[in-house]
Every structure is written in C-alpha cells, then in structure tokens.
Amino acid sequence: MRAKFQAGQRVIANDKAPGDYSGRAGTVLEHKSDTSEYQVQFDGDDRGPGWLASWQLDLAVRAA
C-alpha cells in the first residue's frame, strides 16, 4: 500500500477527524503498512500520539 504521508511530515487534522483532534497540527511518526492509518504526535498534546486515517489528515502548508 502506498503511503499518503511520510514520517516527519507536518499534517493537520481536518473536519473528518474526531473533535478533539480537528484543526490540530502535528508530525507523522509512522504509517501502518497494511492500513491507511497514521500515528501522529500533535503539537502540545501530552497524551501521546494518536492514530488517524489518511482521510482525516491534510498536509500542512507552510506560510510563506
């Protein structure tokens, strides 16, 4: 399965993500090779990383 995101990329949880993640930015830690799930460490989240599906994440765009 081809990965949509790579480890180290910055992402933002979109409006399809669970409410406590929606709109939050974070860094992809890993991809589950047999699924479309990504482990993401969200900025300022001391609960540890969460697992979200690819359709719940968008690539973060850097401001110019």
Run means of pLDDT, 10 residues per run, the chain, 64 residues: 89 95 96 92 93 96 67
d(CA 62, CA 45): 21
d(CA 17, CA 1): 22
Model pLDDT, residue 3: 84
Model pLDDT, residue 63: 60
Model pLDDT, residue 61: 83
pTM of structure: 0.88
* Domain covering 10-59 assigned CATH 2.30.30 in the classification: yes
Distance of CA 35 to the CA centre of its chain: 14
